[in-house]
Amino acid sequence: MKKRLQNTSITFRMMQHCLFRPTKRSRNRVREIPGEEAVTTYDYSAHIRDVRMMRARARSGVTQPGI
């Protein structure tokens, strides 16, 4: 009796069969660690902080100059 194939995504099948596995050469290549100033970061809380400030300004009735 043949085994029934399960419904799986293409991505899952590729990951199972290691099609995205890097080559042996690229895995063993020595990489330089970037300096502290070369690393860029993303401020995840900036949007939340901006929204909070806008709400506080709206509640207090303060308008921005030039608008």
Please give the model's pTM, rounded to 2 decimal places.
Answer: 0.35
What value, to the nearest 5°, has the Cα angle with vertex 45 and ends 32 and 55?
Answer: 160
Placement of tokens 């709206």 in the chain: 58
Q: What is the predicted pLDDT for the residue at 47? A: 92
Strand runs (DSSP E) across the chain, as ranges?
Answer: none
- The set of residues, in sequence order, having a beta carbon less than 8 Å from that of 20 and lying 6+ positions away, is 14
Residue 17 token pair: 């069969």
What average pLDDT score do residues 13-35 get? 77
33-59 pLDDT tens trace: 889 888 888 888 999 999 999 999 998
Q: What is the predicted pLDDT for the residue at 45? A: 92
What is the C-alpha to C-alpha distance for residues 24 and 65, in angstroms, rounded to an integer? 60
What average pLDDT score do residues 27-35 get? 84
